[in-house]
Structure 1
């Protein structure tokens, strides 16, 4: 007995739990089971997980493709804690007192805060004139405000919107142990990103310099007074020039100062009449060229037959009509071989071809007429512009005679402006000298227009989408498994059905039938049923039960094969066994045992024969079979009589073991009637075959009627298919290969694998 137990797969953890009392197990064993169950859940749903992850990755790819690319331009500035005196007196220190080195980090952080301040954003906005229109908001991918926000006006609301966009796109990075700060700006427009980043750097350096300027020297006061006087003279001369231009009706579209092509000022203003003359003259030249081109085109078209014009040949409508005509002519020529020209159908075809010719000629004539119209239009435009040019010539000559005094006044304006610019430049130089310290902020790198976007990042987005997809898939699979009551593993037999797991039978190859597997004593199926017989003996008080019913939730779960195999295994160890086919609706044991089904169980229940007449010997010694016999019209009524318990007791007295193949539980009362007359009932469950609570309902129905269920058999169990792998398949392989000649593991064929 000990050797047999060692050879069978019932020595796995589940059978040991049946043979030994449950002491709770160790924490590591519990963790191992939980991890194994978790891996099995993921493995079973691997295709669903892959589909969910794939959907998330497709969504991530779609979002990435729909995202607007953003570019980041970066400029860098060096922030020194001290600056040198370049124009100071000799009695002044050449270097300003430096701040304490303990405050270096605070000083640098202060500069970063100034860069990110609202005042700096306002300076950049004004410097780049971003609030002039809504272009900046559009370039940043936003929508300009169309209504006031709260107490603010619409203009103030747009101004605040621009400042917020500047603050959001700005990033200042100051690495640790470094005085070089990176100023970055992110925008959908790469050129705009570079402009704004450089503007922040430039305006910050100017802002820093302004704090160093002085404003109380004598030179600056003197220059300020001179600038005020010169500014007044310049304004007076400009007003005099403007008054004369109005009185003389000289409209200077250049603002009173005409410029030549080289940028120098000229004495003659660019008046409205002159400007119109130049523009209309240019238009006249273009119209004249267009008229000449149109005339040449028309002359060429007039001398060419309509159907030979390039415009006609390339016209889609003409090409389509020509194709239709060619097809009609080809059809006409083909029909001409069978009919004469005066045949009605031939006359219709000829009329159709003539109509196509007419449409072609009409369309070609229309196209040539459009060429003539283009020439006529160009001629009229040339004539109209010629009259306007002649009229503006005389007006321009009259204005030139009145421009002499205008030039005299204009030279006075130019002289005052030159003097004012010189004083202004000198004032700027003096103001620069007032700041005796050089700027401690210097630009290191200028922001160039970025050529690659910083976002979106396809690889990162896809990685995030994959992670989110895996999390969603894991959550969905775990939630789905939480509400899934199908029995897949030995642990599910106890956790979901509340039954003791006795053993499991492996999934057979497709080309192997149960009869063939049971005929081979070394097959995995034979070994599994041998182990099941041992489990039945150990799980029932006093050894194997004298009467045993085998049932299942539904048909095709392997109960008949299991009943036959259990009976045969008991017979092989020397016990006298009778196997009864109690399924009076769909019997099958007579085919497994290869015996006739003339008289059987139904005859005995109806008291239409003796037991000796119904019992049939089988090929297995010590095993007898009572087939189902003729199928009764109402099996439940036949089983509910007093004959069933009498018959079972009589057979139990004559045989050591009575095994009954009972019908499925659901929908029938037969199993309840049979199970109530036996000592124990074996419940057969197909692995991954029972869903929607059917197995639970069947177990509750049996136990609710006082039937003793000795345990459950898990059939068609494929550990590797559900992801339990080597650990669950080891026992079958060991029992199958025990006693076999040694062979390389690669040459062995797993007995539970499916092809």
Structure 2
């Protein structure tokens, strides 16, 4: 049986997925587009790659090592213990190297804001570049002769000898010697743009399992690459040394102030003890107080140490509140490095959290793609920095409060110890107290002197935490530009774009090219696909099937196009037999026994299909009648080589009977009813009662009746 409509919907719905073969066919149909886009894209990439200027890379090396510790024998204590904060010291130094302060100093030192317009101009043309005015100068026109250089910045030209300073516009510079060009034009970029260019071409990476850092800079000129990378590492090492010195100076100054105060307090305590002994005459040994004095002495020393730390913390907080914004971070670093606070993990964590926020803010506000201060990310970082500072100050205050609590506990313990001395003579107790006070202050003064000596040694050391290992040499050859990879990527991109365009054209093309397209559009199953049957003269040379003997038989003409007769083994003949088989097993055909063959437009092969289909039914042993219902352009009589009259028209009008109108053919069991005379009103004739009665009569004599009708779009006869 034929497949039902529901089963067809299920099968067609399951077949909506695009297979690899369909994709390949789509690409094959639009191969010109794929090839064209691929060639254009690859050619464009090849043009860019082949015309790309070579780039040179210079490498300088430094190492991270706290040489101050080795030189001072450990007396110059490190300002911070990196190992306890879960940070990477090497990455910290790399971020500092890429900070705005370092790169800005490099830009100003090397005059990187002046950039030649012509590629042939040497990049190390100028020395001692200073911008005396930030605005108003965009381009400089320089001309070089044998004795001097002439510069113009939109106004009057300025002339100076080689090696002498030259101020033009808002720029003061020096040309040390005559360059290899006679004229050049230089553009002036902003400081932020120059910083962004340096950061874009600067890269710093650590070597595995070492404290060595390789700093690389890439430029279009080998001299520029070497000059800039050497300037970066030199400025970084210098700033690191200056920072270490400034920290040591601030620490020394603070310790000198504390030592001066402690010495004064010690002198006052010693004078009070001497006066007391002179007045009261207390000079004999007091062994009985040894035990109590030793305990009270230890408590007092510890209390004075905590009190000194507290005064130091309070003094630093007071100083920090008076510092301007640019000095706030340095004051915080001094506060964090103070003894007692440096061991506080909460304070240390908050301080480095603030440092990371500041580095993130600097990276957003510098460079060619820098963000404005009103950028939401910058504002958020500013808020986080302010919050971190507040939390850090609060943590220090909390530390002071903790120190106060410890001092109070020591005071209570000291009070309990002093209560045990009440049974002793008052004079001896007073002397013991004064001696304890003097010893406590002396111990604290000795400790401050030791710290002061360390600070002086640290200040005198001429190295920082980083040391320069190697300066960059002049690159001998350009770095690889990855031409092969870029060309391969260009080829892949071209293939992707071409394939995408081909698939897009395929998706937007609504024409019907395949059987599946037609079935999906009409929502009916296809029974067979009839291949194109070319009309060839060879058909005239084929021998026709022999006409069975019998009276009244009619032979087909030599030029017949019925492939089912002329070439029974061809693919076209097999296609008609396949269609016949599907129709035989169709329940509709079995119950009705009639078929109407039509088409949408003329010359689409409906008459040929009807004739060949009738032949295949007859070859199956069925009695078949083919009726030429095309009463406008009848052709069936020509195919079978019979006369057109009498035919269907005469039979319907009663001018002829069944035996005269129906003709036998050369195929056993197959009969033809030609059209007959062409009437002026074929639609009314085919839609009348006599036509319905004729069909009922003919169905009794034939197993299958096939109608050849006019095209649907040409006439309404087929619909009737």
TM-score (normalised: structure 1): 0.48
Structure 1: where are the runs of 5+ without partners? Answer: 1-14, 218-430, 674-755
Once the two structures are superposed, residues 411-452 of structure 1 have per-residue CA deviations (whole angstroms, 9 ceiling, x without a partner) of: xxxxxxxxxxxxxxxxxxxx9984156843423764616536
Check 1:646–1:56 CA distance in 2 against 1; reply closer, same or farther (3 A cut): same
User: What is the match of residue 467 of structure 2?
Assistant: 440
User: What is the match of residue 526 of structure 2?
Assistant: 501
1:480 aligns with 2:505: no
Task: Give the alignment of 1:331-370 within 5 angstroms.
Answer: none
SS where residue 598 of structure 2 aligns?
A: strand
CA distance in 1 between counterparts of 2:216 and 2:107 reads 16
User: What is the match of residue 396 of structure 1?
Assistant: none
Query: 1:121, CA displacement in angstroms?
Result: 1.9
SS where residue 656 of structure 2 aligns?
A: coil
Once the two structures are superposed, residues 355-380 of structure 1 have per-residue CA deviations (whole angstroms, 9 ceiling, x without a partner) of: xxxxxxxxxxxxxxxxxxxxxxxxxx
Contact 1:212 1:435 in 2 (8 A): no
Equivalent of 2:615 in 568, 572, 588: 568
Task: Give the alignment of 1:73-472 within 5 angstroms.
Answer: 73-84=56-67, 88=71, 106-132=88-114, 135=117, 158-174=190-206, 177=209, 179-189=211-221, 192-212=224-244, 434-435=461-462, 439-443=466-470, 446=473, 448=475, 450-451=477-478, 454=481, 458-470=486-498, 472=500
Equivalent of 1:69 in 38, 52, 73: 52
Contact 1:84 1:96 in 2 (8 A): no
CA distance in 2 between counterparts of 1:47 and 1:494 reads 21
Equivalent of 1:559 in 586, 606, 619: 606
SS where residue 167 of structure 1 aligns?
A: helix
User: What is the match of residue 587 of structure 2?
Assistant: 540
CA distance in 2 between counterparts of 1:62 and 1:641 reads 72
Check 1:500–1:139 CA distance in 2 against 1; reply closer, same or farther (3 A cut): farther
Equivalent of 2:17 in 10, 25, 34: 34
CA distance in 1 between counterparts of 2:113 and 2:55 reads 22
Contact 2:709 2:717 in 1 (8 A): yes
Check 1:468–1:200 CA distance in 2 against 1; reply closer, same or farther (3 A cut): farther
CA distance in 2 between counterparts of 1:190 and 1:509 reads 73
CA root-mean-square deviation: 4.7
CA distance in 2 between counterparts of 1:455 and 1:177 reads 29
CA distance in 2 between counterparts of 1:119 and 1:597 reads 106
Once the two structures are superposed, residues 489-526 of structure 1 have per-residue CA deviations (whole angstroms, 9 ceiling, x without a partner) of: 2x334321021322223455786866346544443333
Query: 1:669, CA displacement in angstroms?
Result: 1.2
Check 1:42–1:23 CA distance in 2 against 1; reply closer, same or farther (3 A cut): closer
Once the two structures are superposed, residues 579-608 of structure 1 have per-residue CA deviations (whole angstroms, 9 ceiling, x without a partner) of: 112223333333433434354334434544
Query: 1:111, CA displacement in angstroms?
Result: 1.9
Query: 1:469, CA displacement in angstroms?
Result: 0.9
Contact 2:135 2:170 in 1 (8 A): yes
CA distance in 2 between counterparts of 1:666 and 1:601 reads 23
SS where residue 529 of structure 2 aligns?
A: strand
User: What is the match of residue 670 of structure 2?
Assistant: 623
Query: 1:662, CA displacement in angstroms?
Result: 1.5
Contact 1:205 1:442 in 2 (8 A): no
Check 1:451–1:590 CA distance in 2 against 1; reply closer, same or farther (3 A cut): farther
Contact 1:75 1:201 in 2 (8 A): no
SS where residue 585 of structure 1 aligns?
A: coil
CA distance in 2 between counterparts of 1:546 and 1:622 reads 15
Contact 2:57 2:479 in 1 (8 A): no
SS where residue 719 of structure 2 aligns?
A: helix
Once the two structures are superposed, residues 537-558 of structure 1 have per-residue CA deviations (whole angstroms, 9 ceiling, x without a partner) of: 2222472632210112223433
CA distance in 1 between counterparts of 2:622 and 2:16 reads 38
SS where residue 521 of structure 2 aligns?
A: helix
**Higher mean Cα deviation, 203-212 or 543-552?**
203-212
Structure 2: where are the runs of 5+ without partners? Answer: 124-133, 139-168, 172-187, 250-457, 540-560
Query: 1:109, CA displacement in angstroms?
Result: 1.4
Check 1:467–1:56 CA distance in 2 against 1; reply closer, same or farther (3 A cut): closer
Query: 1:18, CA displacement in angstroms?
Result: 4.7
CA distance in 2 between counterparts of 1:579 and 1:449 reads 92
Check 1:493–1:538 CA distance in 2 against 1; reply closer, same or farther (3 A cut): farther
Check 1:86–1:540 CA distance in 2 against 1; reply closer, same or farther (3 A cut): closer
CA distance in 2 between counterparts of 1:140 and 1:466 reads 39
CA distance in 2 between counterparts of 1:195 and 1:604 reads 109
How many residues are aligned here? 433
1:48 aligns with 2:30: yes
CA distance in 2 between counterparts of 1:154 and 1:654 reads 113
Once the two structures are superposed, residues 610-659 of structure 1 have per-residue CA deviations (whole angstroms, 9 ceiling, x without a partner) of: 33222222111000112334444554454344443333333223322110
CA distance in 2 between counterparts of 1:140 and 1:608 reads 110
CA distance in 2 between counterparts of 1:140 and 1:597 reads 99
CA distance in 2 between counterparts of 1:216 and 1:161 reads 35
SS where residue 196 of structure 2 aligns?
A: helix
CA distance in 2 between counterparts of 1:140 and 1:655 reads 103
Once the two structures are superposed, residues 709-744 of structure 1 have per-residue CA deviations (whole angstroms, 9 ceiling, x without a partner) of: xxxxxxxxxxxxxxxxxxxxxxxxxxxxxxxxxxxx
Check 1:61–1:22 CA distance in 2 against 1; reply closer, same or farther (3 A cut): closer
Query: 1:58, CA displacement in angstroms?
Result: 0.2
Contact 2:584 2:590 in 1 (8 A): yes
Contact 1:617 1:623 in 2 (8 A): yes
Contact 1:19 1:538 in 2 (8 A): no
User: What is the match of residue 515 of structure 1?
Assistant: 562
Contact 2:58 2:222 in 1 (8 A): no
CA distance in 2 between counterparts of 1:76 and 1:190 reads 11
SS where residue 575 of structure 1 aligns?
A: coil
Contact 2:58 2:225 in 1 (8 A): no
